[in-house]
Structure 1
Amino acid sequence: MEPGEPVFLDIEGGLVPFFLTSVEERDPRTVVISLDDIDSEEKARRLSGIAVYLPGTRPGGNGMNETDLSSLVGYEVFTPQEQSLGLVKEAEELPMHWVLRLRSPEGERLIPLHEDLIVEIDPGRKRIVMDLPNGLTEI
């Protein structure tokens, strides 16, 4: 990301373009950005917590693209209570969001992939912990 490049903010369900005026990387997982037309602390506070997308990414699945998600194939998905839900067979993009196709002893499952549902991704142990709504795993 460089000053002058666009980013898109999810405002009331629509992606609104803004241009970067500055970019400061605090650590590998934290970037502080300044946006054109956001010139007061009050305006910035109103945007706090809003999803930001880079060009080429789409809403859903953590803002990840298909290449990023393919790296999850082979991971095992668990609930926070350590119940195994299955192995990731494929990441699939549906019209409104991404899903993980899992292989489990009970058969194949589709689980929505959204940042609010992910508790932890552990690449070293190839595991994902997800806090899914009640009843979703019984579908």
Structure 2
Amino acid sequence: MALMPKRVKHRKSQRGRIKGNATRGNKVVFGDFGLQATQGGWIKARTIEAGRIAAQQYVRGEGRLFIRIFPDKPVSSKPLETRMGKGKGEPEAWVAVIKPGTVLYELAGVTEQQAKICFARLASKMPVPVRLVQRRPA
């Protein structure tokens, strides 16, 4: 079940530009370890779901997984070999816009070694380079 918003204000959106680093969502808040993006980009809803499944299979019942991103941007495309004009294409996929420093996933209730192994599985599925970060003691 791919993530997507229940309703949106506008059905189609412009591409936009990713500028600067993340100022929100850049710290580990819910878990003990986090997977942080080191570059900006788009992450599709299907990729987020694939990462969730890979992490849940590894963690099983002992840890808790938190997904910190949500795909709320529609990406449209025109069919191949279509002539120019005739308007913008139909929404094809939903993506989450990621700035450098955004925490994508968090894990709680696991050791550091387990978190490293789990996030290594996730990192291979992500379209942006990522790194492991720990929660700072408050």
Tell me the TM-score range normalised by the shorter chain. under 0.3
Q: Which entry has the higher C-alpha Rg, 1 or 2?
A: 1
Structure number with higher helix proportion: 2
More relative contact order, 1 or 2 (CA 8 Å, 6+ apart): 2
Structure number with higher strand proportion: 1
